[in-house]
Chains A and B, each alone.
Chain A
Amino acid sequence: MSIKVSGVTKKFGDFVALDDISVDLPKGQLTALLGPSGGGKSTLLRIIAGLEDADSGTVTIEGNEATHLPPQKRNVGFVFQHYAAFKHMSVAKNVAFGLEIRKRPKAETEKRVAELLELVHLSQFSHRLPAQLSGGQRQRMALARALAVEPTVLLLDEPFGALDAKVRKELRDWLRRLHDEVHVTTVFVTHDQEEALEVADEIVVINDGRIEQVGTPDQLYDEPASEFVMSFLGPVTKLNGRLVRPHDIDVHTTPEDSLGKAGKIVRLLRVGFEVRLTVELEEADHPDVEVTVTRATQRHLNLEEGLRIWVSPTNGARTQSPIRAVN
């Protein structure tokens, strides 16, 4: 295990940010700490980096006890949400910072900086100041700067959170490809489940200062351990007292079997290739069901507002009993 966190607790006044957290993060992998804002995931990352002290518990990095080491002795690379670019230094100087602190020979530093700028596609901007770069470029510079010192682990705190949606998607793909090239143990914090599912090898879901579940993206999506994990990783709706994903519901215009529930489409919203239906069931006291179908299905079945339909969970669909969530 590359990073081992055991029994870490952190309070800010009365607020419990982390409540007895223990987790092992495997070597060489890209791990996402996923959870809602204020859930404690950034605090955990900052404790691993040494930027925050845990009230109790220990942190081990590559077998070295690091709990009481100052950040500069942990050999971690840290990337901040708002880039933390050294404003008064050129891009090349930013990247060279860690190497200059380590008093590496000048020629070696220059060579390494050139390599890294090549890696993050910023070679032609090496003499610019951070203020002259776009947000995405600044974050790539910050990444190169963190990688320059050959860190044991690379920690990224909401690295794409301040960027607009398109750049965020590009950088996400790019981070995945970069990781496949560089292979440094990487942990990144995000509140965007799509980002975590797309990029990470492993996801740690954190909520209310506690770990909800640890697993691969597929495990989490297919076998959520709790109602929270299921609803955080994607949209859910309730059918027959169980949670189910809106795209895991079959729609029929005739009563196919006894399992189908009759209801009326009260709202129809088209978003690109997707059509979202709100169905009011005839069964008394059953909450409205949200169903997602493709545009093709909608056209094929002539679905429209006011139409009477029958809904049932798709065969083999993952459902979740809400009772299990209360733990």
Chain B
Amino acid sequence: MATDTLNPASAEPTEPATSSRRRKPTGRTGYTREPAGVRWTLRVIAVAYVVMLVAWPTVLVFQRALEPGLGAAIDSLREPEVVHALYLTLYVTFFAVLINTVFGLTMSILLVRYDFPGKRILSTLLDIPLSISPVVVGLALVLVYNGRDGWFGQSLEKAGFQVIFASPGMIMATVFVALPLVIREVVPVLEEIGDDQEQAAQSLGANWGQTFRRITLPGIKWAVLYGVVLSLARSIGEFGAVKIVSGNIAGQTMTASQQVEDAYQNFQQGTAYAVAALLALIAMACLVVVSLLRPKDEEQ
């Protein structure tokens, strides 16, 4: 019997048929043994929850956006203010994601591969953006960087660099709220792959840069991509923090999310829903792209 438990596959053919039939149910997961009623109730609850909270409201946004017809929806996206808002969103998102990716990678490697005093405090600080309300982030940035009485803003403004009510402030606010997303994706993967491969590369003559490019980066690329997509989605959708630091001037410092609110409050519902649907579409496209790419990697 000892060999049976060690190697059931090879023992199976010699086993009497009854015993292998008896064994099968134990191999299944616990869920299949639940009574059918419980199983169906759990499924209905899960599906209803997601439909009521996520799927149905999102579908409604698309429905409203397309109500006047696809042509009209596209037309409302061509209004100069909307085009500017979309362009600004793209601009802010691009730099915020770029900064967060570079910073997030550096931070992750620092946190996982090196020991230094204050490491745990730093790790906790990195989670603050997740727990603080974005509005508070916006206000805090205004306090530090505004040109009139800001702690640092006055000297910056004298040097001709405006942060608040301009794109640098909007990028900073977006970077702040999306800060931990890359880090929280990359850190667990870095921990899991360990540093054996990196040490092996070094002993084979690779310097730091070569080790990073050829060994570390390929090992964490999916985590980085996930982090980037999450940051992208978070950055495109950021509203509170950006609204405070931007000053909310239509056609100048208004991003797409702000444009949705602005249009909605000005009874331009068509525009509001069209922009909202576009934002939702971009976010969904990101997730679809990643889920299409990812399984290929796992097959290897």
Contacts and interface: CB of A to CB of B under 8 A. Distances in A.
B203 A71 contact: yes
Contacts of B199: 51, 71, 78, 80, 84
26 contacts: A70-B202, A71-B199, A71-B203, A72-B203, A72-B205, A72-B207, A77-B203, A78-B199, A78-B203, A80-B199, A80-B200, A84-B199, A84-B200, A86-B197, A86-B200, A87-B193, A87-B197, A87-B219, A88-B218, A101-B204, A101-B205, A101-B206, A101-B210, A102-B205, A148-B204, A149-B204
Given A88-B218, A131-B300, A72 B206 contact: yes
Interface of B: 193, 196-197, 199-207, 210, 214-215, 218-219, 300
Contacts of A142: 200
Interface in A51-108: 51, 70-72, 74-78, 80, 82-88, 97-98, 101-102
Given A82-B196, A86-B214, 7 more contacts: A72-B206, A72-B207, A84-B199, A84-B200, A88-B218, A101-B210, A131-B300
A32 B161 CA distance: 65
A41 interface: no
- Smallest CB-CB A-B distances: 8 pairs: A84-B196, A98-B204, A84-B200, A78-B203, A71-B202, A88-B218, A101-B205, A72-B205
A289 to B, nearest CB: 32
Nearest to A129: B300
B289 to A, nearest CB: 21
Nearest to B196: A84
Max chain A Cβ within 10 angstroms of own Cβ: one of B204, B207, B218, B219 = B204
Interface of A: 49-51, 70-72, 74-78, 80, 82-88, 97-98, 101-102, 129, 131, 142, 145-146, 148-149
A308 B128 CA distance: 77
Nearest to B197: A84
A101 B201 CA distance: 9
A1 B203 CA distance: 21
A98 B203 CA distance: 9
A146 B204 CA distance: 7
Max chain A Cβ within 10 angstroms of own Cβ: one of B196, B200, B218, B219 = B200
A166 to B, nearest CB: 14
B202 A72 contact: yes
